[in-house]
């Protein structure tokens, strides 16, 4: 089933930028998918960069998990992520996110910092949700 996959940087705006948060909430109404990697990255950013307490981080993660489906990071996704990182000149972490999105059958990857408009394996398009 085609769908939306969310990169960490997009979801973080729910707690850091009111204007962008509105756009993210609009996209979340359609549902979507994330990976366990995204959850881990959210925990890191909220705790280390945004200064959330552990309970605030846990609460935010719970809200994200309730709103979106979560796929695990498997060895197969890891191997596919390495291949995608090399082929499309992505960071390792972005390659893993793209591989998880493809594994979940998503056709749109919402990300602010990946290559807007890039089509991966003729199946997944990276889209910056904040681009005019």
The reply to whether 68 falls in a domain is: yes
The one-digit pLDDT tens for each residue of the chain (132 residues) are: 469 999 999 999 998 888 899 999 999 999 999 999 999 999 999 999 999 999 999 999 999 999 999 999 999 999 999 999 999 999 999 999 999 999 999 999 999 999 999 999 999 999 999 997
Residue 36's domain spans which residues? 4-127
The reply to whether 87 falls in a domain is: yes
What pLDDT score was predicted for residue 30? 92
Q: How far is CA 84 from CA 2, 90, 96, in A?
A: 19, 7, 8
What pLDDT score was predicted for residue 17? 86
What pLDDT score was predicted for residue 1? 43
Contact 75, 98 (CB under 8 A): no
Q: How many C-alpha atoms does 124 have within 13 Å on its Cβ side?
A: 25
What pLDDT score was predicted for residue 6? 98
What pLDDT score was predicted for residue 2? 65
Separation of alpha carbons 34 and 64, rounded Å: 9
The reply to whether 91 falls in a domain is: yes
The reply to whether 132 falls in a domain is: no
Q: Which CATH number do you get for residue 22?
A: 3.40.50.1010
Q: How many domains does the chain have?
A: 1
What pLDDT score was predicted for residue 24? 96
């Amino acid at each position: 089933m085609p769908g939306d996959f969310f990169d960490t940087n997009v979801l973080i705006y729910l707690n850091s930028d009111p204007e962008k948060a509105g756009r993210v909430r609009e996209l979340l109404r359609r549902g979507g998918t994330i990976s366990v990697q995204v959850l881990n990255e959210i925990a890191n950013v909220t705790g280390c960069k945004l200064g959330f307490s552990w309970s605030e981080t846990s609460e935010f993660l719970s809200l994200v998990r309730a709103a979106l489906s979560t796929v695990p990071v498997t060895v197969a996704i890891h191997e596919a992520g390495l291949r995608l990182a090399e082929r499309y000149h992505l960071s390792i972490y972005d390659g893993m996110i793209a591989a998880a999105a493809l594994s979940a059958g998503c056709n749109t990857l919402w990300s602010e910092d990946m290559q807007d408009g890039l089509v991966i394996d003729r199946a997944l398009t990276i889209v910056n949700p904040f681009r005019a």
